[in-house]
């Protein structure tokens, strides 16, 4: 259970760090690139086997992994913006509700069946993203405030679906650590190419805040996955139970952090969205 607790803490810490970027003037894109370099380095450090670039290029999943890495950095930026604009709790709900997307992919790709309770859970998840995003302080609902959580929801879900696809079709258990490192590395390389192109227009200057912010983010980013995998190895709990406890705990903890530490206002609708979020996770994962 210690591994599960640490995974929840690391995942919540990622959203908190995103929120602090705006407070301390950290440039999100540059910090995220450093984050992926850090996470990639951590993956290579903890990989016990030997590997070369040639070996990696021969893997059947390598080019799909590169594409996934590009998608990673795009979605991570969206999640960061969601946390800063809509709040930590909204970003948490949007990303955690995305578990319904790999469930839907499982129905079409792997011929898995959905019960009526799971279908209800998926509908509740969509409602949770909406209600947790609505702000009572404005009579008109900002399209940006609603669009960001929706994009974070879709992006996170597609990433989970693609990773599930690679694990089911191409990956062996021994390849999982190096697969993660390559994904992080591809995301970092994508970001470096982007800022390299922009450097022709505006000279790039090393910013200590961005570097430290990226390193601070990269460590919990890697270990949130590392400890979750450790938790899934627990003999007394099924994977469905682990994922449910993990996601519900992240939603609730990040909400409390947002209210207590960042003084985020929560309306009755917002709290209703959180309740729907927890209920939908339970219905989808356990039934």
The 10s digit of each residue's pLDDT in 198-207 is 777 777 677 8
Domain count of the fold of the chain: 1
Q: Which pLDDT belongs to residue 35?
A: 93
Closest CA to 121 of 11, 247, 259: 247
What residue numbers bound the domain in which 201 lies?
2-286
52-66, 77-91, 128-142, 148-162: the lowest-pLDDT one:
128-142
Q: Is the dihedral of CA 152, 154, 98, 72 positive or negative?
A: negative
Q: Which pLDDT belongs to residue 139?
A: 45
Mean pLDDT computed over every residue of the chain: 81
Instruction: Identify the band that residue 238 occupies on the pLDDT scale cut at 50, 70 and 90.
Output: low
Closest CA to 70 of 187, 160, 196, 191: 187
**What's the rounded Cα separation, in Å, for the pair 126 and 94?**
9
What is the per-residue pLDDT across 134-192, written as a single tens digit (0 to 9) for each? 666 544 556 667 788 899 989 988 987 887 777 676 666 677 778 788 888 998 898 88
Closest CA to 251 of 274, 267, 233: 274
Q: Which pLDDT belongs to residue 241?
A: 67
Give the number of other CB atoms < 10 A from CB of residue 214: 29
- pTM of the full predicted structure? 0.77
Instruction: Identify the band that residue 219 occupies on the pLDDT scale cut at 50, 70 and 90.
Output: very high
């Amino acid at each position: 259970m210690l591994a599960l607790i640490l995974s929840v803490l690391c995942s919540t810490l990622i959203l908190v760090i995103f929120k602090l970027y705006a407070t301390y003037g950290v440039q999100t894109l540059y910090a995220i690139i450093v984050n992926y370099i850090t996470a990639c380095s951590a993956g290579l450090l903890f990989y016990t086997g030997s590997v070369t670039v040639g070996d990696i290029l021969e893997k059947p999943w390598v080019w799909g992994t590169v594409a996934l890495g590009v998608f990673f950095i795009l979605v991570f930026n969206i999640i960061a913006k969601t946390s800063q604009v809509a709040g930590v709790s909204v970003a948490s709900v949007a990303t955690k509700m995305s578990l319904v997307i790999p469930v839907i992919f499982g129905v079409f790709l792997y011929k898995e069946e959905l019960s009526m309770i799971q279908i209800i859970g998926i509908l509740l998840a969509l409602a949770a993203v909406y209600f947790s995003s609505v702000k009572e302080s404005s009579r008109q609902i900002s399209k940006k405030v609603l669009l960001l959580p929706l994009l974070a929801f879709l992006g996170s879900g597609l990433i989970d679906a693609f990773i599930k696809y690679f694990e089911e079709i191409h990956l062996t258990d021994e390849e999982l650590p190096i697969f993660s490192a390559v994904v992080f590395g591809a995301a970092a390389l994508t970001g470096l190419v982007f800022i390299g192109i922009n450097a022709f227009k505006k000279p790039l200057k090393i910013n200590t805040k961005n570097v430290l912010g990226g390193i601070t983010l990269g460590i919990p980013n890697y270990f949130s996955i590392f400890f979750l995998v450790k938790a899934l190895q627990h003999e007394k709990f099924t994977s469905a139970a682990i994922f449910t406890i993990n996601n519900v705990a992240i939603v609730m903890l990040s909400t409390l952090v947002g209210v207590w530490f960042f003084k985020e206002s929560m309306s009755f609708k917002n709290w209703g969205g959180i309740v729907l979020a927890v209920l939908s996770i339970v219905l989808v994962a356990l039934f």
